Structure 1
Amino acid sequence: TPLLRFLRNRGVPEECLSRMEEEHIDATVIDCMDDGTLSEYIPTYGDRIAARRFWRKMGLESSDENLDQADTSTTTRTRTNAQSNKCALKKTRRIDLGWIHDGKQVRTRKGGGTRTIDVPKDTKKSDLINYSKELFFPNGKCRFGSLETLNYDILDFQEEAVLDESITVGELYSLVRLGRLRFYFSTTSKINLQGEESEGNDVQTIDLDENDQESEPLFNLSSDLDESEVTFGPVSNAEPIPGELDDTIIYQFEGDEQDFISLEIPNTNTSGNRLSPASNDEGSTSAASNEIVCITIKLHRSNLLEEMITQFKDKILLRQTLKFCFIDEKGADADGVSRDVYTTFWTEFMEHIGEGEEVRVPSLPNRWQKQEWKSIGRILLKGFKDHGYFPCRLAPAFTVALIFGESEVSEEMLFESLLLYITQSDRDLVSNVLKSGCPDEDRDELVDLLDRLNVTALPTQDNLKGLLLSAAHKHLIQKPRYAAEQMSSTASHILKESFCSPQALLQMYQEKKPTTKRFLKLLEASPTTQAESQSFRFLQQYIRGLDDPGLRRMLRFVTGSDMICVNKVEVIFTPLEGLARRPIAHTCGPALELPWTYGSYPELCCEMDSILLNQNSFEFSIV
């Protein structure tokens, strides 16, 4: 046996081999014997290891031979079965056939869709065209016209017209090796760009139903508008329903920050004319007059802060006339909506980003970098330039440093800003200590205040003001320095022209701040009856009883701004009574409709309080 020959070649004694042959110890049993038993037949340990390895090698080779024989028999049997199976010799292949008209796939409800058919393997391009005509033009016509008025071709699965006239479907399957091939029947109208018919063809027009009308464009430039404007968002003649405007696009201009674009449209007397390229005729060019386009920006009130910053990253907005509207609100912008937009922006800015109490300075959130702070500077400039709105809750020392530079901030201005930056109780504490010294019962509170301002030195009567000035410089100038520098780069050059000096800026702070006297001076009314005079006195009495936050809310309800940005507020008397009685504000006027049916001051006070405390009252519900 092979095992005995292998052992004989290794020098195993013949008597051992003879004994193995007598007792039938061959390769099939040595792997089942332990080493002690096998040593009785093969004395040497190395020969026993070699014998076991020889057996394993022989076993693997025999297994491979058996497998090869099995595979050969299976393959032979499969080929034999395939030769007798008619399905393996099919002469057709299945394909998908679609329809593309003027670059768009035609849906099933319009006569298109995807059709799955079996075609012979020798089908060529001309045959596919004939199949397409039968499927998509059963009577030689479709909703887009007759076949004679259309240009047509066959596109491959990549929607490219690269099919050779002689190549077959079977050859394509072998070439691209896809599970199923897809072809497209492509048709285009034989109409030129001017809408004229091609020579020798009669174009048939077919009316489309309402479901087939194309949607309104997102970007609309039209000369038949009452006021030329570029609207970003859906354009619809009908009044939008709630939620319809949620998917508006945000206006984002992509270009070099140093480049400016002036959008102009021709002023025509005929409505419905389309924009056309400028004529080369000098006479017609000189006769045409141009008007500046107004950009309307649609915003979500709930996300106004981030959306405004995104919008004003584009420098071009500083040179354009802007109008705003709130999505799902009805207000039309005649300055009132714009004032409300800037007021809402700076209110949210102070609440979410500002640090301080009565006056604040911006913190530096991680998500806002250079471009965001430049955008905020443009918002500051645009609001003041167009509507006279300035966020007077910004600390005066910070604003002076932003516009005129840090060198123009005096110690007195810095100290006054710090007093408004800290809380009212801390303000009273500092004033009392500087005036009368620091009693023992106030010393702990003073040390706690300085600790919150990051002052580590112990205060004394002599060094207290110096410590407070150092803290003021750190919190009002140093910490927000990066924000001030970026905002200054986009706003200071224009604002510096509006304010000739820091004193003029501080004077503006005083004039913009609403006070009882200034508010009452804004009201203009012409009562003609005793009831109207009485209601007007009730209104004046209500305003006299408001604190500073209440005055800002009342002013914003009437004008859209919490700072004084208008010269007057007209009071109009109305006969509303019962459940319908309420004051109605028109911020664009601005005007206030005041019912003359109030019988007492508490009636007006109760209704005004409920309005000013309800946040929904500041949304625009009247066009």
Structure 2
Amino acid sequence: MEDEDLAKYLPSFGDRLAVKNFCRNRTALQSHKKGLFEKLRQKQNEMKAEENRKQKNEEPADTSASTSNKRRKASHRKIEIGWLHCEGGEMKQIRAKQGGGTRIVPIAVECGMDEVLQKGKKLFFPDGMSSKGHESEFNFELRDYKQNPVQQDVSIRFIYDTLCMNRLRFYVVTTAKKYVSTTDDMRKRVVITIEDEDEEVTFGPGGPDDDNDGDDTLPYEFVLELQPCSSSSLLVMDAPPDELLSTSPGQLLSTSPDQQLSTSPDQQLSTSPDQQLSTSPDQLLSTSPDQQLSTSPQEQLSTSPHQLLSTSPQASVRKVIYIHHGNCLNELIQEFMDPAVLTQQLSFRRILPDNSVEMGIGDGVMRDVYTAFWEEFYDRCTVGTTAKVPFIRHDFNPDTWRAIGRILLSGFQTCQYLPIKLALPLMEDLFHGSVCSDILKSFMHYVSSQDTVILKTALEDFSKVDSTDLMDVLQAYECRKMVNAHTLPQVLEEIAHKELIQKPRYVVDCWKEVTRGKISIDKLLAHYEALKPTPRRVQGLLEFEEVTTSKRCEVENHLRRYLRELDDDHLGKFLRFTTGSDLIICSKIKVIFTKMSYLSGRPIGHTCGCVLELPESYDNFPQFRSEFNKVLESNIWVMDIV
């Protein structure tokens, strides 16, 4: 309506404006209410659409069921195959860059596990070769996705129906076979499997790890070993090629299984070429432990394996222990948890950081393992500076401490190794039950060098010592008495007894259960004094070649001068490099000279025979010292000479 028409009804202009504004606001309100209704209708429509959608979703479910049925009816399915390699008792998956990885292959659903294993072999061992070696060097096993062994009599279809997985996964597990190397010019080996026996008998070449002080270069030296075997027994015997070809396997099985083998634990079987025809098999098996046994290769092959297998397991057991570099403490403790380990002959093998087995084996490796164990024990399980005592750890139970006691006893019995860094009063209390040495003297080696200076000054002249420094030292060891010049010695002895005897009492009690009566106090004191290396003593061990030249004499002088300059730490490293132990265990160190080029020249240590090879190419003493320091300060030594 126009303003002129509205003026007929509302003459006042203000009234007309008010009416117009009222009408405009009324229209906006109606449009707002209309929008709310539209939103409500939209939501109702969406709810209806959602219900319709749910009803329609029932059809895809039927479709998936039909798809599953189609899969069940399919003749081939895809599976995943991976490669696990077991080395050093640890199982690791081989990555794709090393020829492993995960392979997806189609396979018939009616195939068994043998066909899956064969497919895995073809994938990871093309033409029989892989990054780990030839397939003939490994034992193969098939495992499921949980790395558990699979049943051989099931099919792919059965596993799919049982597990209801979209895709199955299998692993081909490889384990290196235990084989014996051959030497064409000296011997061959006969391997015979005897079913349903309980022990494994090995005639093998004597190595540096055998307890034999004689010549280790005899051509037919061998050692009798008995090892537990799960289902069958393996007889491995050394024989020269001619004798091997003239002996049939039937001759080896010609003796009754009821015959007994009377061989003592420490008995070693060895033979030389001039004694090969002097002993019969019956004499060989009945000889007393103190007799040196000799037999010919022909007689070795005529010995019945049943005779050998009837021997008591404790007769001559050699247990091989594998130790990883850097984890000697934990692994050796686990191996010595069993008290029966003290009745077995032990042989140690080292596993390098790259998970390969070190080639070195023998007495030198054994000494090196015990040395590495006690070095790690000093760092992680003891307190003190020069003289150390064990401290209580919450993660070490009584069995753990008893295992450490067995390691201590085994090291002394096998290679005369004693942890002489442990405080002497502690060891006297362990083996003798009382303290015989000066406990205050040992306490001075237990505290730090700075505290030692303060305490010695106070004992010599109490007025010269700084009282504040003395109080700090005494408070560090929880002293509860006021001291003066007269009472200080008595108080220090009380503190020393508390730190060296009372605190490690629990550990000593656990060790006593293993070591009681094993080492006399006189032998203990003698070894503590004799095992400690000094430059003078180490020089006395050196034995040089008789034939000398001016160049060799010069290198000999360099070596003696170098030893005189070494501190206790580097002196122990020198002994460990040449003998395997950081203590004076061997009676001599034989030094031989070799001709090497300037680039290839380096010191070489043979720990089993305590031999040191030195090149003649050193021009001066600084060059010799620099070369030897680099060797001794390296983080790891690899024993690669068998």
TM range (shorter): 0.5 to 0.7
In the alignment, which residue of structure 2 is the partner of 1:240? none
Q: How does 1:147-166 map to 2 (within 5 A)?
A: none
**Among 426, 430, 437, the residue aligned to 2:451:** 426
User: Residue 98 of structure 1 contacts residue 112 of structure 1 at CA under 8 Å; is this kept in 2?
Assistant: no
- Report the 3-state secondary structure (helix = DSSP H, G, I; strand = E; otherwise coil) of the residue aligned with 1:292: coil
Q: CA 1:452–1:488 in 2, change beyond 3 Å: closer, same or farther?
A: same
1:317 and 2:341 matched = yes
Whole-angstrom CA distance in 2 between matches of 1:481 and 1:380: 17
Q: CA 1:280–1:361 in 2, change beyond 3 Å: closer, same or farther?
A: same
Q: CA 1:390–1:273 in 2, change beyond 3 Å: closer, same or farther?
A: farther
Residues 482-536 of structure 1 show CA distances to partners (whole Å, capped at 9, x for unaligned) of 11111221123323xxx2x2x4422211100001111011100024211111111
Residues 549-577 of structure 1 show CA distances to partners (whole Å, capped at 9, x for unaligned) of 22111111111111111111000101123
Deviation at 1:360, TM superposition (A): 0.3
In the alignment, which residue of structure 2 is the partner of 1:303? 327
1:380 and 2:408 matched = yes
**Among 419, 435, 458, the residue aligned to 1:409:** 435
Paired amino acid for 1:611: V
1:507 and 2:526 matched = yes
In the alignment, which residue of structure 2 is the partner of 1:65? none
- Report the 3-state secondary structure (helix = DSSP H, G, I; strand = E; otherwise coil) of the residue aligned with 1:579: coil
- Report the 3-state secondary structure (helix = DSSP H, G, I; strand = E; otherwise coil) of the residue aligned with 1:521: helix
Whole-angstrom CA distance in 2 between matches of 1:620 and 1:284: 39
1:565 and 2:585 matched = yes
In the alignment, which residue of structure 2 is the partner of 1:538? 558
In the alignment, which residue of structure 2 is the partner of 1:472? 496
User: Residue 340 of structure 1 contacts residue 556 of structure 1 at CA under 8 Å; is this kept in 2?
Assistant: yes
In the alignment, which residue of structure 1 is the partner of 2:576? 556
**Among 546, 564, 567, the residue aligned to 1:547:** 567
In the alignment, which residue of structure 2 is the partner of 1:448? 472
Q: CA 1:282–1:474 in 2, change beyond 3 Å: closer, same or farther?
A: same
Q: CA 1:541–1:467 in 2, change beyond 3 Å: closer, same or farther?
A: same
In the alignment, which residue of structure 1 is the partner of 2:286? none
Q: CA 1:228–1:564 in 2, change beyond 3 Å: closer, same or farther?
A: closer
Percent of residue pairs bearing the same amino acid type: 29
User: Residue 575 of structure 2 contacts residue 583 of structure 2 at CA under 8 Å; is this kept in 1?
Assistant: yes
Q: CA 1:599–1:86 in 2, change beyond 3 Å: closer, same or farther?
A: closer
In the alignment, which residue of structure 1 is the partner of 2:635? 615
* Structure 1 unmatched ranges of 5 or more: 1-69, 100-108, 116-130, 137-142, 144-157, 163-168, 183-210, 230-252, 254-262
User: Residue 419 of structure 1 contacts residue 427 of structure 1 at CA under 8 Å; is this kept in 2?
Assistant: yes
TM-score (norm 1): 0.59
Whole-angstrom CA distance in 2 between matches of 1:545 and 1:160: 68
Residues 162-204 of structure 1 show CA distances to partners (whole Å, capped at 9, x for unaligned) of 9xxxxxx9xx9xxxx989799xxxxxxxxxxxxxxxxxxxxxx
Deviation at 1:432, TM superposition (A): 2.7
Whole-angstrom CA distance in 2 between matches of 1:86 and 1:505: 84
In the alignment, which residue of structure 2 is the partner of 1:598? 618
Q: CA 1:600–1:363 in 2, change beyond 3 Å: closer, same or farther?
A: same
In the alignment, which residue of structure 2 is the partner of 1:67? none
Whole-angstrom CA distance in 2 between matches of 1:223 and 1:302: 33
- Report the 3-state secondary structure (helix = DSSP H, G, I; strand = E; otherwise coil) of the residue aligned with 1:598: coil
Whole-angstrom CA distance in 1 between matches of 2:610 and 2:585: 11
TM-score (norm 2): 0.57
**Among 606, 611, 621, the residue aligned to 1:586:** 606
User: Residue 396 of structure 1 contacts residue 413 of structure 1 at CA under 8 Å; is this kept in 2?
Assistant: no
Q: CA 1:452–1:95 in 2, change beyond 3 Å: closer, same or farther?
A: same
User: Residue 97 of structure 1 contacts residue 132 of structure 1 at CA under 8 Å; is this kept in 2?
Assistant: no
Q: How does 1:196-215 map to 2 (within 5 A)?
A: 215=175
User: Residue 222 of structure 1 contacts residue 228 of structure 1 at CA under 8 Å; is this kept in 2?
Assistant: no
Residues 101-147 of structure 1 show CA distances to partners (whole Å, capped at 9, x for unaligned) of xxxxxxxx9x99452xxxxxxxxxxxxxxx889xx9xxxxxx9xxxx
- Report the 3-state secondary structure (helix = DSSP H, G, I; strand = E; otherwise coil) of the residue aligned with 1:226: strand
Q: CA 1:87–1:460 in 2, change beyond 3 Å: closer, same or farther?
A: closer
Deviation at 1:323, TM superposition (A): 1.2
- Report the 3-state secondary structure (helix = DSSP H, G, I; strand = E; otherwise coil) of the residue aligned with 1:494: coil
- Report the 3-state secondary structure (helix = DSSP H, G, I; strand = E; otherwise coil) of the residue aligned with 1:615: coil
Whole-angstrom CA distance in 1 between matches of 2:486 and 2:493: 13
Q: CA 1:451–1:225 in 2, change beyond 3 Å: closer, same or farther?
A: same
- Report the 3-state secondary structure (helix = DSSP H, G, I; strand = E; otherwise coil) of the residue aligned with 2:347: strand
- Report the 3-state secondary structure (helix = DSSP H, G, I; strand = E; otherwise coil) of the residue aligned with 1:572: strand
Residues 76-115 of structure 1 show CA distances to partners (whole Å, capped at 9, x for unaligned) of x9xxx9xxx999999x98647999xxxxxxxxx9x99452
Q: CA 1:114–1:468 in 2, change beyond 3 Å: closer, same or farther?
A: farther
**Among 344, 357, 375, the residue aligned to 2:385:** 357
Whole-angstrom CA distance in 2 between matches of 1:228 and 1:112: 51
Q: Could you say what the CA RMSD is over the residues aligned between the two structures, in angstroms?
A: 5.1
Q: CA 1:307–1:160 in 2, change beyond 3 Å: closer, same or farther?
A: closer
Whole-angstrom CA distance in 2 between matches of 1:89 and 1:504: 85
Residues 582-608 of structure 1 show CA distances to partners (whole Å, capped at 9, x for unaligned) of 111111111100112222222211211
Q: CA 1:284–1:301 in 2, change beyond 3 Å: closer, same or farther?
A: closer
Deviation at 1:433, TM superposition (A): 2.1
Whole-angstrom CA distance in 1 between matches of 2:631 and 2:237: 46
- Report the 3-state secondary structure (helix = DSSP H, G, I; strand = E; otherwise coil) of the residue aligned with 1:336: helix
Q: CA 1:273–1:563 in 2, change beyond 3 Å: closer, same or farther?
A: farther
Q: CA 1:96–1:491 in 2, change beyond 3 Å: closer, same or farther?
A: farther
**Among 347, 356, 369, the residue aligned to 1:341:** 369
In the alignment, which residue of structure 2 is the partner of 1:457? 481
Whole-angstrom CA distance in 1 between matches of 2:626 and 2:375: 26
User: Residue 397 of structure 1 contacts residue 414 of structure 1 at CA under 8 Å; is this kept in 2?
Assistant: yes
In the alignment, which residue of structure 1 is the partner of 2:220? none
Whole-angstrom CA distance in 1 between matches of 2:401 and 2:254: 39
**Among 174, 197, 204, the residue aligned to 1:226:** 204
User: Residue 223 of structure 1 contacts residue 273 of structure 1 at CA under 8 Å; is this kept in 2?
Assistant: no
**Among 514, 517, 534, the residue aligned to 1:490:** 514
Whole-angstrom CA distance in 1 between matches of 2:64 and 2:506: 78
In the alignment, which residue of structure 2 is the partner of 1:27? none
Deviation at 1:450, TM superposition (A): 0.8
Q: CA 1:278–1:365 in 2, change beyond 3 Å: closer, same or farther?
A: farther
Paired amino acid for 2:594: T
Q: CA 1:582–1:93 in 2, change beyond 3 Å: closer, same or farther?
A: closer
User: Residue 319 of structure 2 contacts residue 346 of structure 2 at CA under 8 Å; is this kept in 1?
Assistant: yes
- Report the 3-state secondary structure (helix = DSSP H, G, I; strand = E; otherwise coil) of the residue aligned with 2:320: strand
Residues 54-77 of structure 1 show CA distances to partners (whole Å, capped at 9, x for unaligned) of xxxxxxxxxxxxxxxx9xxx99x9
Larger Rg: 1
